[in-house]
Amino acid sequence: MTAANQRLDPPGGAASLAGRPVARIGFGAMQLPGARVTGPPRDRDAALAVLRRAVGLGVNHIDTAQYYGPDVANELIHAALHPYPEDLVLVSKVGAERDDRGAWMPAQRPDQLRAGVEDNLRSLAVEQVEVVNLRLLDAEQHHEAGSQGVDLASQLAEMVALRDEGKIGGIGMSNVTVDQLRQALPIGIACVQNAYSLLDRSGEPLLDLCREHDLAWVPYFPLGSAFPGVAKVTEHPAVLAAATALGATPAQIGLAWLLAHDPQVLLIPGTSSVDHLTENVAAGQVEIDEELMTVLDGLVDPLG
Ligand SMILES: NC(=O)c1ccc[n+]([C@@H]2O[C@H](COP(=O)([O-])OP(=O)(O)OC[C@H]3O[C@@H](n4cnc5c(N)ncnc54)[C@H](OP(=O)(O)O)[C@@H]3O)[C@@H](O)[C@H]2O)c1
């Protein structure tokens, strides 16, 4: 029985993504391959169980990438969930690849974007990926790999061609600046995926633009990620205090704040644990009153 015919209330409430109905609380598959997003997972059955439990709880939006693992997250999604529930919206991304050591490399040439989409179609065993994010790699952050110097216009043109051919349903933008998003808007954008959390508000101007154009805002690192050097939402004293006061968990406070902060928000928290997944999906039931909202709104990145 699928999540659709179980008629579960959509976790976090109902929303839409690229014209498809989705629950506001989805799932990010990046934690499944294992440490440093390099697979295979230590416990394959546990990873498969997380995916099946997510769908069982009403999650119908899963975020993935061919380069998670690499080639591991999509294989797990296929193994756990294919044939997919009709209401499941799979979202992937192109624009990066991994080298032999697992380093993140830009893959932004049009032929690489196309190959990335083809890889996703093959590994997920679908005729169309509902949404594919064009993931821009910041040349400065990835100086090891160097910048490919591919202009944004030719990348967008290739994404449009892939959409016209029906290989992708909608185009998202990831790791973009306001100017890059403005440049992409005329082609029709479904969603934007940048780092953003209770403790990292750097994406606020992009969220403003998403609101203006009614685009889904799908923050990555909503809890502060598994990587070192990113502020962990679940460790902030004010979050811990709020969790105690509300009888919720710290992760639920961070996720409930995101849901309450703006209706454009769709969540894709990542976890490799069924218990954490269950907690995260239940974050939609945590109500943050005005007083607590004011406190949380006022928090800043302790590492920033
Ligand atoms: N577009 C992009 O460039 C981009 C970049 C990064 C990520 N993403 C997407 O965004 C998704 C979310 O980001 P993320 O997974 O990197 O980071 P995240 O969701 O902010 O945090 C994941 C970390 O939080 C832990 N966690 C999850 N639920 C928890 C809970 N209830 N209590 C305590 N700890 C909890 C996880 O550990 P456990 O596994 O132990 O639960 C993991 O260490 C990814 O899965 C991926 O799909 C996109």
Q: Where are the domains of the chain?
A: 3-297
Distance of CA 272 from the midpoint of ligand 1 (Å): 9
- The pLDDT tens digits of the residues spanning 137-177 come to 865 444 444 568 889 999 999 999 999 999 999 999 999 99
Predicted pLDDT of residue 302: 64
Is the distance from the beta carbon of residue 92 to the nearest atom of ligand 1 less than 6 Å? Answer: no
Predicted pLDDT of residue 1: 41
Handedness of CA 276, 279, 284, 288 (dihedral sign): negative
In 3D, which of 104, 83, 84, 86 has the Cα closest to residue 95?
Answer: 104
Distance of CA 226 from the midpoint of ligand 1 (Å): 6
CB 90, CB 129: distance < 8 Å: yes
Predicted pLDDT of residue 96: 95
List the chain residues with pLDDT less than 50.
1-5, 140-145
Q: What's the token pair of residue 197?
A: 């959390």
Is the distance from the beta carbon of residue 41 to the nearest atom of ligand 1 less than 6 Å? Answer: no
45, amino acid identity: D
* Protein fold of 3-297: TIM Barrel (3.20.20)
pTM (2 d.p.): 0.96
Is the distance from the beta carbon of residue 135 to the nearest atom of ligand 1 less than 6 Å? Answer: yes
